[in-house]
């Protein structure tokens, strides 16, 4: 799938993603999340909702979003938090691989 529709409709997607909370979307697996925060990778970070929630819980977050429109909105919405935004995309995630980080949590939610 191309990212063009996400750029054209970035604000609509941003509002839609923010209409649900992190807890609402991820309630099925949240009880399994370790209480000790670590390094998280949020692939397809979109609005930054999930990255923001993880950062608020003490996680160091790398947020990947290939759609420039969504990434810019997400960066703006999370600017007060320590979230490292990266322009990268599946399937390769070449920029992320070059970082050689070892992630404690990898979140791939609503990614096509």
Domain ranges of the chain: 37-112
**pLDDT on residue 29:** 92
Q: From first to last of its 112 residues, what are the pLDDT tens digits of the chain?
A: 588 888 899 999 899 999 999 999 999 999 888 778 999 999 999 999 999 999 999 999 999 999 999 999 999 999 999 999 999 999 999 999 999 999 999 999 988 7
**pLDDT on residue 36:** 86
Q: Provide the CA 70 distance to its chain's centre, in angstroms.
A: 11
**pLDDT on residue 1:** 59
Residue 40 — φ and ψ, nearest 5°?
Answer: -115, 145
* Cα–Cα dist 65/41, whole Å: 11
- Structure pTM? 0.91
**Burial grade of 52 (CB within 10 A; 0-12, 13-18, 19 or more):** buried
Does domain 37-112 correspond to CATH entry 3.40.50.11740? no
């Amino acid at each position: 799938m191309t990212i063009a529709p996400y750029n054209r409709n970035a604000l609509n997607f941003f509002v839609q993603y923010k209409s649900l909370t992190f807890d609402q979307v991820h309630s099925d697996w949240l009880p399994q999340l370790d209480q000790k925060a670590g390094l998280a990778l949020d692939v397809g970070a979109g609005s930054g909702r999930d990255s923001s929630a993880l950062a608020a819980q003490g996680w160091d977050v790398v947020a990947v979003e290939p759609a420039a429109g969504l990434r810019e909105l997400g960066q703006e919405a999370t600017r007060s938090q320590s979230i490292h935004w990266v322009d990268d995309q599946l399937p390769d995630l070449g920029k992320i691989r070059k970082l050689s980080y070892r992630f404690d949590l990898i979140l791939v939610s609503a990614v096509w």
